[in-house]
Structure 1
Amino acid sequence: MTEPTILERRDAGVCTLTFNRPRAKNAFNEAMYGALADALAAAATDRSVRVVVLTGAGDAFCAGQDLSEMGPVEERDGPVGFDRLLDALSGHPKPLIAAVNGVGLGLGLTMLLHTDINYVATTARFKCPFVTLGVVPEAGSSFLLPRMLGRHATAELLLTARWLEADEAVALGLARAAVAPDRLLHVALETAHAIAKMPPEATQATKRLLKAADRPMVDAARRAEADAFRERLGSPENREAVAAFFEKRAPRWD
């Protein structure tokens, strides 16, 4: 029997969604995009759910797109379920809390720009590997990352694709706090349950106000990124990057 890619647990108004592909470092395939989008949609309309917590199974939070399950470059326009998932994240009416238990690559970082409160394990690490794959940023991150971290820090992270450690993620404002791994989920759930006790309509109205000013710019950034991504997908650099990944070698850019 196939294990579900998203595990769900509900308790006293808090819905915890766990990414459940630990052998793949919780990298997203098409089934997982759809499963998480469905779970978020269900939580959005269920009046008994006040807060949603996102975390990962095993020692990783999310390793981004699962390249090993993508078809040949020339046969695709990008992950089909990605936009649907992003809509579910960015437009979710209820507070979203992330408990980042390990590595966050690509989507594993950019989804944190759409959650409301992020806690990271002290062992968590992040990377935006888009340029190394010959493509461009996603998920409105070309607007939201500079908005959150500042332009210079964002440029360094995106253009060098270097690792970002947990303490620096907190210092830059990507996360609220770095927590010992064995206390991470407890801390996230403690905050979630505190919020769940608040008046739900006032809570959701407050979240809408916090996001309202940025919404037009986020939508514009997503459209521009999608256009640029389609242009880069299948380019010589992208083909070489994907080939190098599967062949386990360094890419050759000349």
Structure 2
Amino acid sequence: MTEHLKKRFEGGVLTLRLDRPEKKNAMTRGMYDGLAQGLAAAATHDETRVVVLAGGSDFTAGNDLADFATVEDGQPRPGAAFEFLEQIRAFPKPVVAAVRGVAIGIGTTLLLHCDAVVVARQARLQMPFARLALVPEGGSSLLLARRVGTALASWWLMSGEAFSGEDAARAGLALRAVEDDQVEAEAAAIAAQLAALPAAALAETKRLRRAPGQAGGERVMADEREAFSRQLRTPEAQAVFATFLARKKG
């Protein structure tokens, strides 16, 4: 595990906790790699029945743009983020998310692959891809509309407007919205409840629930990955990253 990702296993529940509070858990490639590895191991570990994703006072501020913009062959490489998204999309066991503070970009889209989301009422969720001259990822261009409806999905993805945890629960993106100091306890209670159920039945239920849209979801995520990588190379995206990096240096 990376230094910015902590894990705890208890009672059949594996908690993967983002631990970079000074950066609001902004995601680096190392953190994505750690999450992907943790999920891959949990998928085949019989004693792991449920995974909880948490982040402390903030879930995640999304990609650390300074790390994300680090180039190879002259271009930014978003591969680690997409590898993690593939892992969570295909993960066969229940996933519970505990969302406090901010959940920006992938911090919101990954919730579409969780089976239960507990969010703080005053949490701030946002998918500002268009504002960054980028495009949606994580299957959100398909899955978000299925979850919250076409009108709201289109607005959130195109405008990049932030919304509250209360809004997320009301729209169906989260299972429950609670007070900030209750989020982790509520998520732990849900995880414990799921961990006590027959594991094979839960896995089969999850498979059946996802099966109707599985092929379409895979195609959409592949298309998003290609479009995202292509958009990163455009002058408008390069300008956004250059402005951000110049501001950081200044």
Quote the residue 2:64 is aligned against.
66
The secondary structure found in structure 1 opposite 2:59 is strand
Q: Pairwise mapping of residues 10-25 of structure 1 onto structure 2 (< 5 A)?
A: 10-25=9-24
Runs of 4 or more consecutive aligned structure 1 residues displaced over 6 Å after TM superposition: none
Between the aligned partners of 1:121 and 1:154, the Cα distance in structure 2 is 20
> What TM-score do the two structures reach when normalised by structure 2?
0.94
Matching residue of 2:174:
175
* Partners of 1:129 and 1:30 in 2: CA distance: 20
Q: Does 1:44 align with 2:43?
A: yes
Taking structure 1 as reference, are residues 150 and 35 closer, same or farther at Cα in structure 2, changes over 3 Å only?
same
For residues 212-227 of structure 1, what are the structure 2 equivalents within 5 Å? Answer: 212-227=211-226
Q: Tell me how many residue pairs correspond in the alignment.
A: 247
User: Is the 1:73–1:234 Cα contact (8 Å) retained in structure 2?
Assistant: no
Q: Residue type matched to 1:61 in 2? A: F
Q: How many angstroms does 1:73 deviate by? A: 8.5
Look up the equivalent residue of 2:49 and give its one-letter code.
Answer: R
Question: What is the CA–CA distance in structure 1 between the aligned matches of 2:244 and 2:164, rounded to whole Å?
Answer: 24
Give the aligned CA root-mean-square deviation in angstroms: 1.7
**What does residue 124 of structure 1 align with?**
123
> Could you list the runs of 5+ residues in structure 1 that have no partner in the other structure?
250-254
Q: Which residue identity lines up with residue 110 of structure 1 in the other structure?
A: T
TM-score scaled by length of structure 1: 0.92
User: Does structure 2 conserve the Cα–Cα contact (< 8 Å) formed by 1:62 and 1:103?
Assistant: yes
CA distance in 2, matches of 1:107, 1:125: 13
**Residue 67 of structure 1: how far off its partner (Å):** 0.4
Is 1:185 aligned to 2:184, yes or no? yes
Aligned equivalents of 2:173, 2:6: Cα separation in 1: 25
Q: Following TM superposition, by how much is the alpha carbon of 1:11 offset from its aligned partner in structure 2, in angstroms?
A: 1.0
Q: Deviations over 1:117-145 (max 9, x none)?
A: 10001221111111111110001110001
Identity %: 37
1:158 deviates by: 1.2
Contact 2:120 2:177 in 1 (8 A): yes
Instruction: Please show how residues 17-166 of structure 1 align to structure 2 within 5 Å.
Output: 17-57=16-56, 59-69=57-67, 70-72=69-71, 75-166=74-165
Task: Work out the CA distance in 1 between the residues paired with 2:169 and 2:72.
Answer: 36
Change (3 A) 1:155 1:13: same
The structural deviation recorded for 1:25 is 1.1
Farther-moved stretch of structure 1 (231-240 vs 200-209): 231-240
State the shift of 1:232 in Å: 1.0
Q: What secondary structure does 1:62 align onto? A: coil
**Residues 35-65 of structure 1, C-alpha deviations (whole Å, 9 max, x = no match):** 11111111111111111110003x2101111
